[in-house]
Chain A
Amino acid sequence: MSEFEPKIVAFVCNWCTYAGADLTGTSRIKYASNVKIVRFPCTGRIDFMLLLKAFSEGADGIIVSGCHPNDCHYTSGNFHARRRWLIFRSLLNFLGIDVNRIQYSWVSAAEGAKWAEVVNTTVTKVRELGPYTEYRKAADYVEQQEREVFNG
């Protein structure tokens, strides 16, 4: 098909969203295959730089998801993550980076249906926004620079 298919990277925690995604599969719920899941022990471990790296490496959209507040396997990792996401989102918006391409969510291990919904919604939204070419344009220069430096 000629229609644009967005590349989505999902940063998820091991105990809730990853297990929830597993439940989605075992429940035979269909959802878009655009998403590539990266598993972390905790949402508190998801460094803000990873989101920037995802965009610069070609992701068109990002999902970040973990345990609901008060349900964190490590007690408070998601509370710290929530603050970090809030500040990071505000900073990105101030810089003109498209925060609509980053979907934040809490999906528990029992919410297989919700995970499918989050993915499908995000894919639909990012498909409408189109490829994130303006950020990749800034990144391309780095790749060119790397080629020049490392290949003489």
Chain B
Amino acid sequence: MKNTFSSELSQKVASMLESGEVQLVIGYEEGTKRPRPCFISDAADAGKLIFDERCTGNLTVYLTKKELIGDSKVVVTASYFALRSILRLLTENQVNLEKLVVLTVSAEGHLIQFETTDDIAAFIKSAPVPAREDDQVLMQKLEAMSREERWEFWSEELSKCFKCYACRAACPMCYCTKCVVEENRPQWIQPWASTLANIEWHINRAMHMTGRCSDCGACGSACPLGLPVHLLSKKITEEVETSFGMNLNDTLQGGNALSTFKPEDKETFIK
């Protein structure tokens, strides 16, 4: 299944590892059924690397794992949504381009290496956004429901959750070393699974993602029950854009929707 780009990628990575320019490569290799993440520190293994349209997971989640990265300079192969996450992590000073090489593939199938934050932002702006029809259909269905029907839907769905925290583990923006759900003085959210605690947990996570979510859908994909929890963040992302006019172009200004404000923000419900 190797394409031209994969060969180009392997050669590039092998030379960077051999020269000692980088110490670790985070990319994809062939899995039993689909591509899976792989971590390469030996140039001889570079041939395993692939990167094609099936590589949809968000590898950015590993960039904030200090136990994995240590002090290494790292190469990451980034899909479109991963680039958005990297941009956000750069803005939040969680990654540093001096220690990071970002590679992706252009629409023409060529290898691209980004030098600056602006380069990444420009690429994101010009590249087409990968479509996800399933999400769009479910979103429209939910918007068409009455409030009571939505409550039925979400309390039913979220009551299935058993708090495995795969959504948190898969999310590149969930990098706090201690999560609010692990606090027990005060205990905001009951740690065991129950309908209310699940609702509170997912509301908490969605609120913490406000203006920071790259809409990669990793939290939904990671869910072993297939709960559509990524739609909560998606809804908030839409609201942020509608209400505050903030989108990825504004990400370079620093701050996110809830850590900044404009005096002229508009609303209609505060009487």
Contacts and interface: CB of A to CB of B under 8 A. Distances in A.
Nearest to B244: A83
Interface of B: 142, 145, 147-155, 159, 188-190, 192, 194-197, 199-200, 203-204, 206-207, 210, 232, 235-236, 239-240, 243-244, 257-259, 261-263, 265, 267, 269-271
A96 B235 contact: no
A130 interface: no
A43 to B, nearest CB: 10
Contacts of B235: 90-91, 94
- Per CB-CB distance, the 7 closest pairs between chain A and chain B, nearest first, are A96-B151, A96-B150, A79-B261, A138-B195, A104-B270, A90-B239, A138-B196
A137 to B, nearest CB: 8
A8 to B, nearest CB: 15
Contacts of B197: 142
Contacts of A142: 190, 194-197
Interface stretch (A18-26, A32-40, A48-56): A48-56
A88 interface: yes
Contact of A91 (B153, B190, B192, B232): B232
Nearest to A93: B147
Contact of B270 (A85, A98, A139): A85
A110 interface: no
Contacts of A124: none
Contacts of A88: 207
Contacts of B196: 56, 138-139, 141-142
7 contacts: A83-B258, A94-B142, A96-B148, A96-B150, A96-B153, A118-B271, A138-B195
Interface string A56-83: 1000000000000110000010011011
A97 interface: yes
A120 interface: no
Given A96-B154, A145-B190, A87 B257 contact: yes
Contacts of A93: 147, 150
A115 B159 CA distance: 38
A136 B265 CA distance: 34
A127 interface: no
B209 to A, nearest CB: 10
A70 B265 CA distance: 12
A94 B140 CA distance: 11
A45 to B, nearest CB: 14
Contacts of B207: 48, 84, 87-88, 91
B167 to A, nearest CB: 16
B269 A96 contact: no
B271 A49 contact: no
Given A104-B271, A145-B190, A82 B261 contact: yes
Contact of B199 (A84, A95, A98): A95
Contact of A49 (B147, B188, B257): B188
Nearest to B158: A95
Name which of A91, A95, A134, A142 has the most chain B CB atoms within 10 A of its CB.
A95
Given A96-B147, A104-B269, 16 more contacts: A49-B204, A79-B262, A79-B265, A80-B259, A80-B261, A83-B258, A84-B207, A87-B239, A90-B243, A96-B149, A96-B153, A96-B155, A118-B271, A138-B196, A142-B197, A146-B190
